């Protein structure tokens, strides 16, 4: 038995966009309803805001002379999580309260942009996708970061951390917009 004969026996082997599914239903309609669906959006909002707050809180705790056991565990956990997703180079990171943030300035920009966008989306109506496709918006949001990278690579000078963070904030906001617009609002359910 060859791999091609196995693949030809599978009903649908292509990656098909939701709008082109054979059954004609939008992919969002296939997400389980009920408790899971009701919990996803608030959990995403909470996780986004809490992570951004932890990025500022942990350096405060780390800068204190005596952290509690829980505080020390939180410091270690957040810096460890930061090390998985970021290079954490000191010269490319913000420092608060005499301690380096758990992620670099660019990552800080992403998470700050995401936190602002998720808060705005939670209180504002009309945060759904409109107009341009998500890929176009994502590319446009990445342009400021690409500009700072081009500058850095062509001149050999690193832009200031504030510029690097500001350039990444639109990217974080756009990703939040894409994720939230794919989730139904709690009040939009019928």
Task: Give the model's confidence band at 6: pLDDT under 50 very low, under 70 low, under 90 confident, else very high.
Answer: very low
pLDDT digits (tens, 9 = 90+) for 104-160: 999 999 999 999 999 998 888 665 656 667 889 999 999 999 999 999 999 999 999
35-63 vs 69-85: helix axis angle to the nearest 10? Answer: 110
Single pTM value for the model: 0.77
Q: What pLDDT was estimated at residue 46?
A: 97
The answer to whether 49 and 43 are in contact (CB under 8 A) is no
pLDDT digits (tens, 9 = 90+) for 86-120: 999 999 999 999 999 999 999 999 999 999 999 99
Q: What is the DSSP string of 117-176?
A: HHHHHHH-S--S--SS-HHHHHHHHHHHHHHHHHHHHHHS-PPPHHHHHHHHHHHHHHHH
């Amino acid at each position: 038995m060859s791999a091609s004969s196995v693949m030809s026996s599978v009903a649908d082997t292509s990656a098909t966009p939701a709008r082109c599914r054979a059954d004609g239903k939008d992919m969002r309609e296939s997400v389980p309803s009920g408790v899971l669906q009701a919990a996803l959006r608030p959990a995403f909002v909470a996780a986004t805001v809490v992570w951004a707050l932890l990025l500022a809180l942990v350096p405060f705790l780390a800068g204190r002379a005596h952290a509690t056991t829980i505080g020390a565990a939180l410091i270690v956990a957040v810096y460890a999580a930061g090390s998985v997703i970021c290079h954490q180079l000191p010269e490319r990171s913000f420092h608060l309260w005499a301690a380096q943030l758990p992620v670099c300035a660019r990552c800080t920009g992403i998470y700050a942009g995401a936190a602002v966008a998720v808060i705005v989306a939670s209180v504002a109506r009309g945060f759904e996708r409109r107009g341009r496709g998500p890929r176009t918006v994502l590319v446009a949001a990445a342009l400021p970061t690409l500009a700072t990278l081009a500058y850095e690579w062509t001149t050999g000078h690193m832009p200031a951390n504030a510029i690097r963070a500001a350039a990444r904030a639109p990217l974080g906001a756009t990703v939040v917009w894409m994720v939230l617009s794919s989730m139904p609002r709690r009040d939009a359910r019928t």
